[in-house]
Structure 1
Amino acid sequence: MDSNTITPLNIYSKRCIYFNTDSDDYRCMVILRVKRATCTLSLIGCFFMLFVIWLLRRYHSLAQKMICCLTIVAFFDSVAYVMGDTHPEGSLCNFQAWWLTYFDWSALVWVCLITLNLYLNLVREMSTSRYEPLYHLMAWGVPLVMASLPLINGYYGPAGAWCWITDDHVSWRFGIWYVPLFTLIFLMSGCYIRIIYLTNQRMQSWFGTFHPERERRKVSLAEEIRPLKWYPCVYLLVSLFPLINRLHNAFYPQDPLFSLTLLHVLSAPLHGLSNAFVFGLDRETWSQLSPAGIQLALRSRLCDRTRIREYRTGAVRYSQADLNDDDDTNVLFFSPDLER
C-alpha cells in the first residue's frame, strides 16, 4: 500500500496526537466517540433547558434570568468541547483553548453568583435586583481576563483530547483553573450549608398568629433551595476526573493513561447535562411538563393572539344612581400600604 494513502487509521493517528497511536489506535477512536457522545448529550440538555425556559416563561425574576444565562453559557461551553477533531498548533487551536477557558469560567462564575444571590436573599434578607448589572459585569468580565492571560503569554496549544494550556505550563493549568475551581466549589458548599441550616430554622419556627403569606413564602424558599443546592455537587463530580488526569499529566507528561483520559473526556463536557439535571429537580417545573401542561403552554406561546389596543371612549354619561352605587365591592388592586 502506498505510504501516502489516507486511511481511517492514519486519520485517527493524526487526530490523537497526544496518544502513542502506533500500536493502540483503537484508543483514539474510543476517545473521539466518547467525546462526541458526551458533548451531544450536553447540547441536548442545554436545548431542553432553553426550551423549557421559553415554554414556561422562566425569565422574569433575577434568579430565573441567571439560570437562563448559565444555560446559554453551558451551551457554548459544549460547543467548545466538540469544536473540531484535529488539534495542530496554530490559531484555530488557540481559539478553541481560549473559547473553552472563557465559557468554563463563565459557567463557574454564574453558579457562584446564583449561590451568592440566594445567600443575600435568604440569609441577609436583601433585595438584589439592583445588582443585576454587576452580576453581568462579573460573569462576562472575569472569564475574559482569565482566558486571555494564557493567550497573551502563548501558553495555549494541544493538550490531549482538545486544546488548552500545554503540558509545558502545568502551573498555569492549576493557577488559572483547578485551584480557583475547587476553592469556589468548597466555598459554595459552605454557603449552601449555611443557607439550608438557617432555612430549616425558619421553617420550624413559629411567629405567633398564622400568616398565610409567610407560610407560602417558607414553602417557596424550600422549593427554591432544593434543586440549587446540587450545583456544587455536580460541578465537583464533573471536575474530579479532569483534575486527576491533569495531575497525572503533570508528573508523566509523555505517558498519558487511556483510562484517565477516557474518564476526563466522559465527565468534563457534561456541564450542560448536569445543569439540566439540577434544573429538572424542580418539582414545579416537572408538574408543568405533563402532556396536558405542555399542550396548554404551547397554545399560550403559539396561539395566543390577544393584543392590548387603545380604547377610544365616546361620550359617557353617568346617572346619579351610578355614582352612588354602594353595592360594588370589587377590589381590583390591593396594597397593604393603603390600610395604614
Structure 2
Amino acid sequence: MEQSPDEIRATYAVLLIADFTSIIGCIIVLVGFWRLKLLRNHVTKVISCFCLTSICKDVPSTLLTLTQAAVYNRGFPCYFYSIVITYGSLSCWLWTLCLAISIFRLIVKREPEPQRYEKWYYLASWGLPIISTIIMLAKNTVDYVGNWCWIKPEYVVYRFMLFYVPFFIIFGTSAILVGITCHYTYQVIHNGVSDNKDRHVKYQFKLVNYIIVFLICWVFAVVNRIVNGLGYYPFATNLLHTYLSVSHGFFASMVFVYNNPLMWRYFGAKVIRCFTLFGFCTETAKRLEKNKNNNNPSPYSSSRGGSNKTGTSNHNGATIDSTPGYDSSYELDSSSIPYEYSIQSGNIPNNSENQNNIQNESINNNVNNNNSNEHSQNENIGSSNI
C-alpha cells in the first residue's frame, strides 16, 4: 500500500529521530564504561556489547536514510540496509538474552566467575544472526519496503521464520529467566532474610526493566507485521513500529543510566560545570564532584582480584570518601544487590538460626577486614551495576 507524501515525511522524520537518539544513548553508555572503572564488570560488559552492536546497526542505517541511497539504487545499498537491520536487530536481542542469563547465573546459581561464559556470548550474539541473514539474501527476498530495505511483504513466512520467531524465542527465554530470578528474590524476602523490602522490590524492578523495554520496543513491530500479513497497512502501527524498534538502543541505554546513579552523577557533574562558569549551581557542582566516583563495590570484582576502590570502607563494604563534602546518602543506593543474592552468601535460610549464622559470618568478615569497630546485626549489602 502506497503512503501519502505527509505519511512518508512523518515516517522519515521519526526514523531519523529514533536513529540519532539511539546512537547518542549508546555512546553515553560506552563512554561511561570507558571512563568509570567502577562500572566495569561482567554485566556492564554485556550491556556495552549490546550498545556497541546497536551503534554499528544505527550508524549505517542513519547514513542510508539520509542519503536515500536505498531508494534510488535497489542494488548493493538496499541489500546492505537489509543486512544491517536483520543482523543488527537479532544480535541486539541475543545480547539482551545474554544479560538475562548473566543475572540469572549470578544471583540464582551464585556463579563465582560469570565472565568465563563471555566467549560463548560473543559467539552466539555475533554468530547466530549470520544464519538468518544468509538465508534472507540467498532466497532473493529483499526490496525497498517503504521505510527501509527488508524482506518483501509477499514473503510473510520468511519474515516470521527468519526474524519474528527468533524474537519470540529470545524474549520468552529472557522473560522466564528474569521471572525465576525475581521469584528467587521473593523467596529471600518471604523467608525473612531481609527486613528492607522496599530495597528488594526496587532491585526486582531493575531486574525486569530491560526485558520490559525489550518487549515495548518490539511488540508493535510484531503487531504491525501480523496486520501487514493480513493485507492491512495502518499508518499508526507502522509509525510506532518504526520509532520503537529503532529506538531500542536509546531506551536500553536510559535504563542503564537509571540503574546506575554513578552514571548520571558523572555526566551531571560535566553538564553542571558549564553553569558554574557563570556562577550558577556551584554547591551542586561541588557535591557531584565529590560523589561522582563513589559507588559500592561490585560482587563480581571479588572473583577478579578487587574493584579498584579508593578511600575507606564502611561496615557495608561501600567505598566512601572521608573528606568534607562527601554525601554519605550515596553509600547504599537503589542499585545495590542485596547481600543475600550475592555470590558470598549461603543458601536461603528457612529459620532464624540460619539467619543469625549469616549475620554472624558477615560480622566476622567485617572484623577480619578491619572495616568496622562496631559489630552490626544488619544485613550486608554488596552491589551490582545492572
TM-score when normalising by structure 2: 0.63
Give 1:58-97 correspondences, 5 Å limit.
60-85=40-65, 86=68, 87-88=70-71, 89-97=74-82
Residue 166 of structure 1 pairs with residue 146 of structure 2: no
When residues 222 and 51 of structure 1 are mapped into structure 2, their CA distance, relative to the original with a 3 A threshold, is farther
Q: How much does 1:34 deviate?
A: 1.3
Between the two proteins, what is the percent identity of the paired residues?
A: 22
8 A contact 1:159–1:167 mirrored in 2: yes
Residue 104 of structure 1 pairs with residue 83 of structure 2: no
Q: How much does 1:96 deviate?
A: 0.9
Residue 245 of structure 1 pairs with residue 224 of structure 2: yes
For the pair shown, which has the larger CA radius of gyration, 1 or 2?
1
Runs of 4+ in 1 over 6 A off after TM superposition: 218-224, 296-300
Deviations 1:7-40 (A, max 9, x none): xxxxxxxxxxx634xxx31221111111111211
Distance 1:284 1:123 in 2: 25
The aligned residue for residue 265 of structure 1 is: 242
Distance 1:277 1:19 in 2: 35
When residues 93 and 219 of structure 1 are mapped into structure 2, their CA distance, relative to the original with a 3 A threshold, is same
- The one-letter code sitting in structure 2 at the alignment partner of 1:174 is F
The aligned residue for residue 253 of structure 2 is: 276
Deviations 1:279-304 (A, max 9, x none): 0221533563342476469999xxxx
> Secondary structure of the residue that 1:157 maps to in structure 2?
strand
Unaligned residue ranges in structure 1 (runs of 5+): 1-17, 208-214, 301-332, 335-340
8 A contact 1:19–1:28 mirrored in 2: no
Deviations 1:105-130 (A, max 9, x none): 11111110111111112212223222
Distance 1:58 1:299 in 2: 8
- The one-letter code sitting in structure 2 at the alignment partner of 1:57 is K
The aligned residue for residue 236 of structure 1 is: 215
The aligned residue for residue 5 of structure 1 is: none
Unaligned residue ranges in structure 2 (runs of 5+): 270-285, 295-367, 370-386
> Secondary structure of the residue that 1:230 maps to in structure 2?
helix
Deviations 1:50-78 (A, max 9, x none): 22222322563211211111111122222
- The one-letter code sitting in structure 1 at the alignment partner of 2:175 is S
Distance 2:41 2:156 in 1: 41
8 A contact 2:32–2:263 mirrored in 1: no
The aligned residue for residue 365 of structure 2 is: none
Deviations 1:141-187 (A, max 9, x none): 11122222211222222122011111121101111111221232122
Give 1:16-55 correspondences, 5 Å limit.
19-20=2-3, 24-55=4-35
The aligned residue for residue 196 of structure 1 is: 182
Deviations 1:204-257 (A, max 9, x none): 5467xxxxxxx8xx99998765424211211111112111221222121xx633
8 A contact 1:167–1:249 mirrored in 2: yes
Distance 1:109 1:119 in 2: 15
The aligned residue for residue 183 of structure 1 is: 169
